[in-house]
Structure 1
Amino acid sequence: LLYALLHLSGFEDVSMEEVKNFRQWGSKTPGHPEFGHTAGVDATTGPLGQGISTATGFAQAERFLAAKYNREGFNIFDHYTYVICGDGDLMEGVSSEAASYAGLQKLDK
């Protein structure tokens, strides 16, 4: 799903040919996305549930940076954080902890 969305969003690294080469040796679309390997992939994934924790950290960082650097009329940091996860991710304890933390901190972006 990630690579299809990147392709449809216009990322040149992720051509239809690369989407068809999903999980093939040497392709830009590995089974576990890697930061720095494919444009649009902001974090390397690994263990199940890790992506949810990473997204929570990204949202917390955006809030911190916005509070520090944004000024009236100059919203430098003003973005939303999205995560794609599956049922396996949600069965891991780390994802529950990350979701609980996000709710406690009221991370709404």
Structure 2
Amino acid sequence: IGWLSLRPTEAHVLMQVSPKKLKVTYPEGTSSSVFTFVASPSLAKRDVQSWADIQGISISVSGNANPVPKVTFAGRYGGSGSPIYDHNYWSLVHTMPAGFEGAPEIIIEFE
């Protein structure tokens, strides 16, 4: 993997970081909250459709957000946006289930 970044969509974010694990909570979030991660993976894999397609790292997702992200591409030759610092990237967006109540939370574990 080249890089991975969280793009928070809420003003109030709680983070718990431990070895190989990141827990993100939006304490003032709602059912319309989303967790957006952007990744610039190795060029060896040119089509990312899930976390499993990002080579060089194994990523699992849990928490109360939908575990399957909506994935979009952004880059020099098209996609949903422009490159970040001249790097193509994939956006992985986890939404909340319909009718969700409580504090949105996602847990990302790395191997």
TM-score normalised over the length of structure 2: 0.26
TM-score normalised over the length of structure 1: 0.26
Q: Which has the higher contact order (CA 8 A, sep 6+)?
A: 2
Report which of the two has the higher share of strand.
2
Larger CA Rg, structure 1 vs 2: 1
